[in-house]
Amino acid sequence: MFESLAEKLEGIFKKLKGRGVLNEESVNAALKEIRMALLEADVNFKVVKDFIEDVRLRAIGKEVLESITPGQQVVKIVHDRLVELMGNTSANIKFGSRIPATIMLVGLQGCGKTTTAAKLALILSREKKVYLVSADVYRPAAMEQLAVLGRQIKAGVFDAGSLRDPVKICVEAVEQAKKEGYEVVIIDTAGRLHIDDLLMEELRKIKDKVNPSEILYVADAMTGQDAVNVGTKFNELIGIDGVIMTKMDGDARGGAALSLKAVVGKPLKFVGIGEKIDALEVFHPERMASRILGMGDILSLVEKAQATIDEKTAREMEQSLRKGDFSLEDFRNQLQQVKKMGSLKDMMGMIPGMGKIKALKDAQPDDKELIKITAMIDSMTKKERYNYLIIDGRRRKRIALGSGTMVQDVNRLLKNYVEIRKMMKKINQKGGIKSLMRNFPF
Ligand SMILES: Nc1nc2c(ncn2[C@@H]2O[C@H](COP(=O)(O)OP(=O)(O)OP(=O)(O)O)[C@@H](O)[C@H]2O)c(=O)[nH]1
Ligand SMILES: [Mg+2]
Lowest mean pLDDT of 150-154, 323-327, 407-411, name the range.
323-327
pLDDT of residue 433: 45
The residue-averaged pLDDT of 348-366 equals 44
Contact between residue 89 and residue 172 where contact means Cβ atoms under 8 Å apart: no
Query: Which listed ligand is nearest to 246 at the C-alpha?
Result: 1
Omega within 30 of 0 (cis) for the link into 100 = yes
> Which residue has a Cα nearest atom 4 of ligand 1?
275
Is the CB of residue 288 below 6 angstroms from any atom belonging to ligand 1? no
pLDDT tier, 309 (very low <50, low <70, confident <90, very high otherwise): low
Phi, psi angles (nearest 5°) of residue 159: -100, 110
Tell whether the model's pLDDT for residue 254 goes beyond 70. yes
Residue 136 identity: D
Residue bearing the bigger pLDDT, 21 or 162: 162
Ligand 1 mean position to 154 CA, how many Å? 20
Ligand 1 atom nearest to CA at 273: 31
Mean pLDDT, rounded, of the chain:
83
Tell whether the model's pLDDT for residue 438 goes beyond 50. no
pLDDT of residue 316: 65
pLDDT of residue 311: 57
Ligand 2 mean position to 126 CA, how many Å? 23
pLDDT tier, 302 (very low <50, low <70, confident <90, very high otherwise): low
Contact between residue 293 and residue 80 where contact means Cβ atoms under 8 Å apart: no
> What is the chain's length?
442
pLDDT of residue 214: 97
Is the CB of residue 100 below 6 angstroms from any atom belonging to ligand 1? no
Query: Which listed ligand is nearest to 111 at the C-alpha?
Result: 1
pLDDT tier, 297 (very low <50, low <70, confident <90, very high otherwise): very low
User: Residue 285: which residues within 8 A CB-CB, separation 6 or more?
Assistant: 82, 83, 84, 85, 86, 87, 88, 89, 90
Is the CB of residue 438 below 6 angstroms from any atom belonging to ligand 1? no
The residue-averaged pLDDT of 1-26 equals 82
Ligand 1 atom nearest to CA at 107: 19
Ligand 1 mean position to 137 CA, how many Å? 17
The residue-averaged pLDDT of 206-221 equals 96
Is the CB of residue 142 below 6 angstroms from any atom belonging to ligand 1? yes
Q: How far apart are CA 35 and CA 16, in angstroms?
A: 15
Tell whether the model's pLDDT for residue 441 goes beyond 90. no
Ligand 2 mean position to 113 CA, how many Å? 5
Ligand 1 mean position to 160 CA, how many Å? 22
pLDDT tens per residue across span 85-126: 999 888 889 999 899 999 999 999 999 999 999 999 999 998
Tell whether the model's pLDDT for residue 402 goes beyond 50. yes
Contact between residue 107 and residue 217 where contact means Cβ atoms under 8 Å apart: yes
pLDDT of residue 370: 78
Query: Of the spans 38-47, 293-302, 321-330, which averages the highest pLDDT?
Result: 38-47
pTM for this prediction: 0.71
pLDDT tens per residue across span 257-272: 999 999 999 999 999 9
pLDDT of residue 144: 95
Ligand 1 mean position to 268 CA, how many Å? 18
Is the CB of residue 274 below 6 angstroms from any atom belonging to ligand 1? yes
Q: How far apart are CA 23 and CA 30, in angstroms?
A: 11
Contact between residue 150 and residue 97 where contact means Cβ atoms under 8 Å apart: no
> Which residue has a Cα nearest atom 25 of ligand 1?
109
Residue bearing the bigger pLDDT, 80 or 302: 80
Beta bridge partner(s), residue 214: 103
pLDDT of residue 38: 93
Is the CB of residue 247 below 6 angstroms from any atom belonging to ligand 1? yes
pLDDT of residue 346: 52
The residue-averaged pLDDT of 366-378 equals 83
Is the CB of residue 280 below 6 angstroms from any atom belonging to ligand 1? no
The residue-averaged pLDDT of 323-343 equals 69
pLDDT of residue 332: 80
Ligand 1 atom nearest to CA at 142: 23
Q: 261-279 in b/e burial notation, b at 16+ Cβ within 10 A?
A: bbbbebbbbbbbbbeeeeb
Ligand 1 atom nearest to CA at 117: 15
Residue bearing the bigger pLDDT, 216 or 305: 216
pLDDT of residue 307: 53
Is the CB of residue 272 below 6 angstroms from any atom belonging to ligand 1? yes
Tell whether the model's pLDDT for residue 355 goes beyond 90. no
pLDDT tens per residue across span 30-75: 999 999 999 999 999 999 999 999 999 998 887 777 776 778 788 8
Could you give all domains of the chain from N- to C-terminal order, each with its CATH number? 3-85 (1.20.120.140), 101-292 (3.40.50.300), 298-439 (1.10.260.30)
Q: 232-245 in b/e burial notation, b at 16+ Cβ within 10 A?
A: bebbebbebbbbbb
Is the CB of residue 273 below 6 angstroms from any atom belonging to ligand 1? yes
> Which residue has a Cα nearest atom 29 of ligand 1?
275
pLDDT tens per residue across span 147-172: 999 999 999 999 999 999 999 999 99
pLDDT of residue 303: 52
pLDDT tier, 338 (very low <50, low <70, confident <90, very high otherwise): low
pLDDT of residue 315: 62
- CA quadruple 187, 267, 203, 137: dihedral, nearest 10: -40
Residue bearing the bigger pLDDT, 297 or 211: 211
Query: Which listed ligand is nearest to 270 at the C-alpha?
Result: 1
Ligand 1 mean position to 110 CA, how many Å? 5
